[in-house]
């Protein structure tokens, strides 16, 4: 085995190991959420995943961003076929091992080049939209320094990777035409041949070109491995979680709120004294916090809400259609999701350091204010707009439940509504004897 | 407006041993709010005209619990729900129609988990079915050619996926239906859902109902059609706020149909 194969193998193994470790950590964090069985209507779920995640159906609701995103997405998915060849070449010291495919190989490489160019252009336009045109949803309150940097890094990374890929092909193509060493005629280079012309590669000597080709090759593959390991630290993790997150979507009507069976048992025993009150929930193991009515911390949300949090792409389509946000209120559904994720990361770090969960005196309310929660109209414009079927309303109503049922802290005037429902069975202060008055009027 | 309304109760039906074809769930707002009562009556006139054998619960009706649930009070919601389900199941109710999308959503989607299984329709769906079955005839009347825009209630549209029933009914008026930019899946909330109806809005730079009313008025429509008593109130207030009172009116679809038929 050559020295470069050994270096490649080492880099590859470290990258895969570190990535697997971090994915395992995210999986553990998601499973800190409450259990919820989601395995009904499987056929519908596969169809939905195919349409929404694979088919990007909700992305194109905004046609410009949607189309550009599909260019990057297609580039990302298809060019990864080329990565397979690069890995084999890296491990065995071969060069363009799939070139035996002949004309079809040419077609593949040619397509990759076109896709790489489209990806490059789309990323450049994305950067301009974000940082030059400063489209509003990328500059809202929750888009602090890190989320903005993250987005910039992802786009820059992709541009660099595509540049390296095209430069590599440009040098390779020139070397093929010169008939140098093992650079056999293989592939077709609609983009990089033009690039080679622009850069005047034809006038370079073979050793310089080999240098450019090798450097680009290494930069490209090491870049991909580095990018892979960047995902778990970034909103870019959505490229993986989008698929399961859509599969596990809420299929019930959007405005149907989740049931709370424990409360049903309590209410039934209140209405019918012959029924015993339900047993208190078992003391949780491993020092985990006790079960709450509603959501105080990430442990009280379902694992699906926590997967939502890690899937968020921070695109802000939810916030841009939120009636509360549109009219200047503090609420931003994107912030609710980002706060949930950041809190979950914080909890995960405690568990990493201490080996188990120990109360750190913080919870979701350390990040999300009551003012934000009470501004929601539960209109579900956010869940409709989300390209990966995230449900911020579930978290908002869960936290409201905690405020009301465990802290007796509803938004002030809501107490009057509760009282009149309790006393009159009506949301306004009229007794049942007035229910039919409208007939007589 | 000629004939007196015929509004029998479930108790009266039970006394005669008869079963109505549908229960009309009036809702708190439809029972108590001055504006919403007009919608209730318009819908009853349509039911009377179509000879629908319906009943109401009357004094036995109680809040579905929707606002309590959205405001986080799950205990109160379930107290209301379980008591209502006892009444509904006691009468053997199978079909329910409501002119309130919030009652409709709760009865349809949230009562089954607590033991209440019913076929539930929104009144625009019910009216649409009456028209299709030929039980009522709708002609444009005074609305012919008028510009009407429809404001989707979140709890009927996005919540339960029906954007078409109210529009199909409106088309029967031979009116010029104009859509707002934010309609159907993209419809903008009136600002009242999620228990907002019972509280002041949080601090902001605008009221949601004004934002929405500006958009509705901007279509040039003289009639804003609604399908929810909450939306109706919010948009009526909005029309005043944007200074279009007297030029633009907010009407429920039931009112438009009743007026067109001179009921």
pLDDT tens profile A294-315: 999 999 999 999 999 999 999 9
pLDDT at A82: 84
Backbone angles phi, psi at A54, to 5 degrees: -70, -45
Minimum distance, in Å, between the CA of residue B83 and any CA atom of chain A: 8
pLDDT for B1 beyond 50:
no
Among all residues of chain A, which has the CA nearest to that of B201? A375
Minimum distance, in Å, between the CA of residue B247 and any CA atom of chain A: 25
- Using alpha carbons only, give the angle A363, A369, A373 rounded to the nearest 5 degrees: 105
- Provide CB contacts within 8 A for B10, sequence distance 6+: B20, B23, B55, B56, B57, B58, B60, B91, B93
Q: How far is A153 from A156, CA to CA, in rounded Å? A: 5
Contact B71 A259 (CB under 8 A): no
Asked which of A250-259, A260-269, A363-372, A375-384 is least confident by mean pLDDT, the reply is: A260-269
Name the residue facing A267 among B82, B198, B205 (closest C-beta).
Answer: B82
pLDDT at A281: 80
C-alpha gyration radius of chain B: 18
Name the residue facing A414 among B32, B71, B161 (closest C-beta).
Answer: B71
Q: Are B250 and B211 in contact (CB under 8 A)?
A: no
Element containing residue B25 per DSSP (H, E): strand B22-25
Q: How far is A150 from A112, CA to CA, in rounded Å? A: 26
Number of H helices, E strands in chain B: 11, 8
Q: How far is B132 from B138, CA to CA, in rounded Å? A: 10
pLDDT at B3: 67
DSSP state of A107: H
Residues B204-223 have a mean pLDDT of: 97
pLDDT tens across A6-56, in order?
999 999 999 999 999 999 999 999 999 999 999 999 999 999 999 999 999
Q: Are B108 and B120 in contact (CB under 8 A)?
A: yes
Task: pLDDT band for B187, please (50, 70, 90 cuts).
Answer: very high
Minimum distance, in Å, between the CA of residue B137 and any CA atom of chain A: 24
> DSSP letters of B43-112?
HHHHHHHTT--EEB-GGG----SHHHHHTT-HHHHHHHHHHHHHHHHHTT--EEEES-HHHHHIIIIISG
Q: How far is A395 from B72, CA to CA, in rounded Å? A: 12
Q: Determine what percent of chain A is predicted with pLDDT higher than 70.
A: 100
Considering only CB atoms, which chain B residues are within 8 Å of A264? 78, 82, 114
Name the residue facing B205 among A327, A404, A418 (closest C-beta).
Answer: A327
Among all residues of chain B, which has the CA nearest to that of A269? B79
Q: Determine what percent of chain A is predicted with pLDDT higher than 90.
A: 83
Beta strand B22-25 with B54-55: parallel, antiparallel or unpaired?
Answer: parallel
pLDDT at A78: 83
Considering only CB atoms, which chain A residues are within 8 Å of B7? 436, 439
Residues A61-66 have a mean pLDDT of: 96
Residues A217-244 have a mean pLDDT of: 96
pLDDT tens across B115-174, in order?
999 999 999 999 999 999 999 998 877 899 999 999 999 999 999 999 999 999 999 999
Torsion angle, alpha carbons of B186, B191, B193, B197, to 10: -170
Angle at which helices A145-178 and A206-230 cross, to 10°: 150
Contact A263 B74 (CB under 8 A): yes
Backbone angles phi, psi at B225, to 5 degrees: -90, 135
Contact B159 A380 (CB under 8 A): yes
pLDDT at A284: 80
pLDDT for B2 beyond 80:
no
Question: Which of B124, B128, B98 is closest to B27 using CA atoms?
Answer: B98
Testing the interface with B: which of A325, A421, A423 to mutate, by most B Cβ within 10 A? Answer: A421
Considering only CB atoms, which chain A residues are within 8 Å of B76? 418, 421-422
pLDDT at A76: 84
Q: Are B199 and A414 in contact (CB under 8 A)?
A: yes
Higher pLDDT, A75 or B250: B250
Per-residue buried b or exposed e for B115-154, using 16+ beta carbons within 10 Å of the residue's own CB: ebebebbbbbbbbbebbeeeebebeeeebeebebbbbbbb
Q: What is the residue-averaged pLDDT of chain B? A: 96
Contact A324 B204 (CB under 8 A): yes
Beta bridge partners of B222: none
The residue whose two tokens read 């349809």 is B108
pLDDT tens across A125-170, in order?
999 999 999 999 999 999 999 999 999 999 999 999 999 999 999 9
- The pTM for the full model equals 0.96
Considering only CB atoms, which chain B residues are within 8 Å of A434? 31-32
pLDDT for B228 beyond 80:
yes
Q: How far is A250 from A307, CA to CA, in rounded Å? A: 13
Q: Are A208 and A228 in contact (CB under 8 A)?
A: no
ipTM of the complex: 0.96
């Amino acid at each position: 085995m050559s020295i470069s194969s050994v270096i490649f193998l080492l880099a590859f193994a470290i990258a895969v190991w570190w990535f697997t470790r971090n994915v395992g950590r995210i999986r553990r964090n998601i499973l800190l959420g409450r259990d919820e069985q989601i395995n009904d209507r499987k056929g519908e779920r596969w169809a939905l995943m195919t349409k929404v995640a694979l088919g990007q159906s909700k992305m194109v609701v905004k046609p410009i961003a949607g189309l550009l995103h599909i260019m990057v997405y297609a580039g990302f998915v298809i060019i990864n076929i080329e990565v397979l060849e690069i890995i084999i070449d890296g491990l065995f010291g071969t060069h363009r091992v799939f070139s035996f495919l002949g004309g079809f190989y040419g077609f593949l490489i040619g397509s990759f080049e076109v896709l790489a160019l489209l990806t490059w252009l789309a990323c450049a336009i994305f950067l301009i939209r974000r940082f030059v045109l400063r489209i509003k949803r990328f500059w809202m309150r929750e888009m602090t320094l890190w989320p903005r940097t993250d987005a910039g890094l992802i786009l820059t990374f992709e541009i660099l990777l595509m540049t390296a890929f095209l430069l590599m092909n440009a040098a390779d193509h020139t070397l093929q035409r010169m008939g140098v060493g093992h650079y056999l005629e293989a592939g077709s280079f609609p983009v990089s041949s033009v690039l080679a012309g622009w850069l005047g590669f034809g006038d370079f000597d073979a050793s310089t070109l080999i240098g450019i080709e090798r450097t680009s090759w290494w930069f490209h593959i090491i870049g991909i491995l580095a990018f892979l390991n960047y995902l778990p630290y970034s909103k870019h993790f959505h490229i993986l979680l989008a698929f399961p997150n859509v599969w596990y979507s809420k299929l019930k009507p959007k405005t149907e709120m989740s049931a709370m069976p424990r409360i049903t048992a309590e209410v039934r025993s209140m209405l019918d004294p012959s029924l015993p009150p339900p047993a208190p929930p078992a003391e949780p193991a491993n020092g985990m916090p006790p079960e709450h009515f509603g959501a105080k911390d990430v442990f009280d949300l379902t694992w699906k809400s926590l997967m939502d949090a890690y899937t968020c792409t921070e695109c802000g389509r939810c916030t841009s259609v939120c009636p509360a946000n549109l009219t200047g209120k503090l609420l931003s559904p994107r912030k609710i999701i980002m706060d949930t994720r950041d809190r979950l990361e914080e909890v995960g770090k405690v568990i990493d350091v201490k080996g188990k969960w120990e109360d750190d005196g913080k919870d979701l309310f350390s990040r999300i204010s009551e003012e934000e929660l009470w501004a929601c109209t539960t209109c579900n414009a956010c869940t409709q707009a989300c390209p990966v079927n995230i449900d911020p309303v579930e978290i908002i109503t869960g936290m409201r439940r905690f405020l009301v049922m465990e802290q007796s802290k509803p938004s002030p005037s809501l107490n009057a509504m509760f009282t009149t429902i309790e006393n009159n069975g009506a949301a306004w202060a009229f007794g049942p004897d007035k229910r039919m008055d409208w007939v007589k009027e | 407006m000629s004939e007196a309304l015929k509004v029998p109760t479930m108790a009266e039906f039970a006394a005669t041993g008869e079963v109505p074809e549908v229960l009309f769930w009036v809702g708190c707002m439809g029972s108590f709010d001055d504006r919403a009562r007009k919608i209730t009556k318009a819908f009853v006139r349509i039911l009377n005209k179509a000879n629908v054998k319906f009943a109401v619960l009357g004094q036995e009706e109680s809040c579905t619990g929707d606002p309590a649930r959205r405001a986080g009070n799950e205990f109160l919601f379930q107290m209301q729900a379980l008591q209502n389900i006892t009444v509904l199941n006691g009468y053997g109710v199978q079909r329910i129609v409501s002119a309130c999308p919030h009652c409709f959503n709760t009865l349809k989607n949230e009562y089954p988990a607590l033991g209440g299984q019913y076929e539930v329709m929104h009144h625009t769906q019910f009216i649409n079915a009456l028209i299709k079955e030929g039980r009522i005839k709708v002609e444009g009347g005074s609305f012919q050619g008028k510009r009407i825009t429809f404001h989707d209630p979140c709890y009927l549209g996005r919540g339960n996926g029906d954007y078409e029933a109210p529009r199909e009914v409106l088309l029967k008026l031979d009116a010029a239906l104009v859509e707002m930019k934010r309609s159907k899946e993209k419809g903008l909330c009136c600002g009242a859902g999620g228990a907002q109806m019972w509280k002041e809005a949080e601090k902001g730079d605008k009221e949601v109902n004004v934002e929405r009313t500006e958009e509705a008025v901007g279509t040039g429509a003289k009639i804003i059609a609604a399908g929810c008593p909450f939306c109706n109130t919010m948009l009526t207030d909005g029309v005043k706020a944007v200074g279009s009172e007297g030029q633009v009116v907010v009407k429920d679809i039931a009112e438009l149909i009743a007026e067109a038929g001179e009921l």
